[in-house]
Amino acid sequence: MPKTWFITGATSGLGLEMAQQLLARGHRVIATARRPEALELLRPDHPDRLDVLQLNLAETDSITSAVESAFQRYARIDVIVSNAGYGLFGAAEEVSKAQIDRQIATNLAGSIHLICAALPFLRRQRGGRIVQVSSEGGQIAYPGFSLYHATKWGIEGFVESVAQEVTPFGIDFIIAEPGPTGTNFGANLDRAEPLAAYEETPAGAVRRAISDGSFAIKGDAARTVAAMIAAAESDAPPLRLALGSTAYASISQALFARLTALEAQRRVADSADRQDP
């Protein structure tokens, strides 16, 4: 049965791939972008099932307007896909204040505002599903991506809390966690001005790997999106969905290491309890 999907960041990468796959399957798509004219190429083939709206995640008023407009046009929106965002690369000392503020405003605050704007409508229609596109970088960290990781770890904590709040209203979440995937993510990186002091550090090594193409990218965009759609259409989707062998391996290793470290602290943890009878 055709559903109505609302997608942010639909002009490129996973967002564009998702819009194309959904339209090919007969679904209705509300595609949003900072530059909506870039989506017009999809309209001739799907004039009755594609709606295009302007939305800039860094501008709260733009988010509110797009969400309200979408729910006014459609009796029901089944799936909200919070996909828009970008990567900022540079050691923490290298990134500028403006780069920090823009990264947080877009990836974290923008995603939060989008979800908060959608919740009243989903609650009134007694259900819906939100897919938050995160990354393996929401549970692990590479040197040089500290601000990007801050936004992804942050949005995952936000979603995990909100998911518990809205379960009684029939609203649920999927946090999609792709590993390195063949999109234009790398080409669109916002890069800090490098400092010579970091050249021979882990951050410098990652910088060189990105520049010379040796940073391994195993994920396939079409397969990644197909898995996200399948999860969103399932009756009991997981809260977190690792996508790609790199994501599975890196998240698994990180969780095992954290659990091992936590177990070693059991006696210290218990010693911090109150000793009142």
User: Catalytic pick from 82, 86, 111, 148?
Assistant: 148
171 close to 119: Cβ distance less than 8 angstroms: yes
218 flagged as catalytic:
no
Question: In angstroms, what CA-CA distances link 203 with 28, 86, 258?
Answer: 43, 19, 22
Distance CA(179)–CA(175), nearest Å, equals 13
Q: What are the backbone dihedrals phi and psi of residue 7, each rounded to the nearest 5 degrees, phi first?
A: -125, 130
What 8-state DSSP symbol labels residue 104? I
Q: Is residue 152 annotated as part of the catalytic site, yes or no?
A: yes
197's tokens: 């002091």
Q: Which of 82, 86, 146, 152 is catalytic?
A: 152
Rounded Cα distance between 153 and 134, Å, is 8
- 208 in Cβ contact with 173 (< 8 Å): no
Per annotation, catalytic residue among 82, 134, 135, 250: 134
DSSP H or E run through 190: strand 190-191
134 annotated active-site: yes
Q: Which residues are the active-site residues?
A: 134, 148, 152
